[in-house]
Amino acid sequence: MSTSAPDTPLIAIVGNPNSGKTTLFNLLTGLKQKVANYPGVTVEKKIGECYSQHGKKLRLIDLPGAYSLNARSPDEAVLRDVLLGRRPETPRPDRVVCVIDSANLERNLYMVSQVLELGLPTILVLNMIDVAAQREWHIDAKRLSEELGVPVVQTNAVTGAGLIELKLTLSREDLAAPQWENAALPEGVRAALEHSRDELRQTGAIHTRSSLLEPLYLLSDHDPTHYGIADSQMARIHELRGRMEADFPGWEDALVAERYRRIEELCAKVLKRPDQEIETITTKLDRILLHPVLGFVNLLLVLGLLFFLIFKVAEGPMGWIETGFGALGSWVEGLMSPGDFRDLIVNGVVPGVGGVVIFLPQILILFFFIGIMEDTGYMSRLAFIMDWAMSKVGLNGKSFLPFLSSYACAIPGVMAARTIDSPKDRLITILIAPLASCSARLPVYSLLIGVLFPAGRVSAWVQAGIMLGLYALGTFGAFFFAWVFNKCVMKGSASPMILEMPAYKMPAIRSILLHVWQRARMFLVRAGTIILGISILIWAASTYPKTQGDTSAQQMEHSFAGRAGKFIEPAIAPLGYDWKIGIGLIGSFAAREVFNSTMGVVYAVESEDDDNLAPLRDKLAGERRPGGGLVYTPLVCISLLVFYVFAMQCVSTVAIVRRETGSWKWALFQLGYMTGTAYLLSLLIFQIGSALGF
């Protein structure tokens, strides 16, 4: 019963995580999107269009990956509900394309067997034939097709091999329902399911077909998010579930075992593999890269290289952007007649936006590098290497994946935590995710490291080392708090993990560059909208109210922003900060990189006209207290850096955490514990450092 228009069939792409669904989807639809190597990225609904061989339009939907239709997490529940036709916004697919990783045939066939039971016309895609071939596995596709009663196509989604045949098969209008027999249920179980079905249909919990699949999944799934089922009905379902378990103890496990038994039988007929496992490049590489010691050393080297590139390679382009903004400022200054509007542009917009945009090259390098690590398959190893550390704090590698994406930005990281089954693990992961140093911290770190160690005076390796240290500090903090929350705040047992180790491969540079470009655009749009807006606000707050006869510096001090800075100065003076840094801190609670914009605007507004176009780094380095001492002493820089490692300064993340945890409670708790830690640590550093005479 499909509600989609009869002339545009909806085709669902389903399969285990990392079987190549998204890559195939992109190939077929040409609709570009991100390709990542670890579970949890394809959470959102993605629909694209393509044309059949006869020029007929087809719609494709890229569904979340799963190992089984028995859902364990919300995104797996989406998959099950869409396939059962339960979600009103997504019509039930007319056909299914089951993508499987040929090099993991047996495990992948498990979900295939469940999908076949749905009775929808199905096409089986044996993807990753290249990996299977490397291992010298021979899969008899013809025999498999006969056994299952569905067409089987072999593909390599990276090279596009087999794509034409797949398109031809997709174009077939005579696809019949599969001939695979449903797994045999013991007679008693079957009768009980039928009974439940009839009852649930009367209460309205089941609307559709008469098959036993709906009651089967309702009574055996452990994820409570069944779409469109009221709480009252859910209560009854729990009762029925309890009765099933009492009457037929272990019936679910028996069903799983039955499925595997039949798959083994099937594999014996269609799969021939060498007596001895072939040594692939992947197994050889993994012997080093997953080694407990060597793997960790390698990880540090890789990250060290990343930060070296961020400082060394980005240096040139950053200089050009800096010069460009400086030139823009003086050009506008010469062009316009003096007045508030000119000040707004020269002292507000240009330094505010410029102070963030100059970090574009570093952001690009960061995302390019992350892209390479994801696409070669190294990112999944990172999760594996870190699994031991995660287990020490009561989490597992599955939590490390959302945490890893938080190094780019905490927002996708927090959302990726949806893939974690255990509610406790998920909450802890969300709580610690923003401690991963996100890319918005990069501009702040970079600026302050530049003040601390001017380029040229120390090598880029030293700067990279400090940066690595800051990242390590945030990571360590995240682990520490995960441990604390796990011990004291929340009880519950650790859940085991299944981590995918895809084969290593050459990175697809084009798709990485595309992703980097999307990121760059987002960064620039953000600079052109949010950062621009905040810069204008900060300029206005630092310029008004105007007082007659003051110098620029006095004017700044008496402005709204100046007064706000002065107001919080007593609270931050023990950390070593003056009121101007205070203005920066206030601004950066909207978003961290606003610190740079604010300082840019504050020093531009304050300076007398001739020197306001010098690079921000130099202005900071030269800034002096009323008494004559430097403001940005090494100790103050370190105290500030540590503050930015720990403080929760991002309005968007607070909003996402509220949405994902469903309450303000956790969002505010996070804001409090992170910022509190930042304050305490910076206080300790400055006070102890001062006492020691630094």
Interface with ligand GDP (CB under 6 A): 15, 17-23, 35-37, 42, 65, 127-128, 130-131, 156-158, 375, 502-503, 505
Among 22, 396, 405, 535, binds Mg ion (CB under 5 A): 22
User: Which lies closer to ligand GDP via its Cβ, residue 78 or residue 635?
Assistant: 78
Number of continuous H segments (helices) and E segments (strands) in the chain:
31, 8
Report the length, in residues, of the chain. Answer: 694
Q: How do strand 95-101 and strand 57-62 relate by DSSP bridges?
A: unpaired
* Piece of 41-49, 120-128, 457-465, 588-596 that binds Mg ion (CB under 5 A): 41-49
Q: Residue 196 class from Cβ within 10 Å (0-12 exposed, 13-18 middle, 19+ buried)?
A: buried
Least Å distance, CB 510 to ligand GDP, is: 12
Binding partner at 20 among ligand GDP, Mg ion, none, C-beta below 5 to 8 Å by kind = ligand GDP
Task: Please tell me what DSSP assigns to residue 344.
Answer: I
User: Which lies closer to ligand GDP via its Cβ, residue 63 or residue 590?
Assistant: 63
* Piece of 40-48, 294-302, 364-372, 383-391 that binds Mg ion (CB under 5 A): 40-48
42 lines the binding site for Mg ion (CB under 5 A)? yes
Q: Identify the three-state secondary structure at position 533.
A: helix
Return the amino acid letter for 617.
Answer: R
DSSP codes joined into one string, 315-334: HHHHHHHHHHHHHHHHHHHH
User: Which lies closer to Mg ion via its Cβ, residue 405 or residue 649?
Assistant: 405
Please tell me whether the peptide bond between 545 and the residue prior to it is cis, using omega within 30 degrees of 0.
yes
Binding partner at 427 among Mg ion, ligand GDP, none, C-beta below 5 to 8 Å by kind = none
Closest CA to 197 of 251, 240, 254, 229: 240
Least Å distance, CB 209 to ligand GDP, is: 28
156 lines the binding site for Mg ion (CB under 5 A)? no
Distance CA 162, CA 374 (A): 25
User: Which lies closer to ligand GDP via its Cβ, residue 13 or residue 432?
Assistant: 13
Which residue has the closest beta carbon to ligand GDP? 20
Binding partner at 66 among ligand GDP, Mg ion, none, C-beta below 5 to 8 Å by kind = none
Binding partner at 23 among Mg ion, ligand GDP, none, C-beta below 5 to 8 Å by kind = ligand GDP
How many residues bind to Mg ion according to rule CB under 5 A? 3
Q: Identify the three-state secondary structure at position 98.
A: strand
User: Which lies closer to ligand GDP via its Cβ, residue 18 or residue 362?
Assistant: 18
> Nearest 5°: phi and psi at 346?
-75, -40
Least Å distance, CB 154 to ligand GDP, is: 9
What six digits make up the tokens of 32? 């570009």
Least Å distance, CB 16 to ligand GDP, is: 7
What six digits make up the tokens of 506? 């050459």
419 lines the binding site for Mg ion (CB under 5 A)? no
Return the amino acid letter for 39.
Answer: P
Least Å distance, CB 620 to ligand GDP, is: 42
User: Which lies closer to Mg ion via its Cβ, residue 38 or residue 311?
Assistant: 38
- What is the helix, strand, coil percentage profile of the chain, to 5? 65, 5, 30
User: Which lies closer to ligand GDP via its Cβ, residue 9 or residue 40?
Assistant: 40
Distance CA 363, CA 442 (A): 8
User: Which lies closer to ligand GDP via its Cβ, residue 131 or residue 349?
Assistant: 131
Binding partner at 236 among Mg ion, ligand GDP, none, C-beta below 5 to 8 Å by kind = none
* Piece of 19-27, 152-160, 223-231, 359-367 that binds Mg ion (CB under 5 A): 19-27
Count CB neighbours of 291 within 10 A: 13
CA angle 442, 446, 447 (to 5 degrees): 120
Least Å distance, CB 374 to Mg ion, is: 12
Closest CA to 4 of 75, 91, 88, 87: 91
DSSP codes joined into one string, 653-677: HHHHHHHHHTSHHHHHHHHHHHHHH
- The residues that touch Mg ion, with contacts defined as CB under 5 A, are 21-22, 42
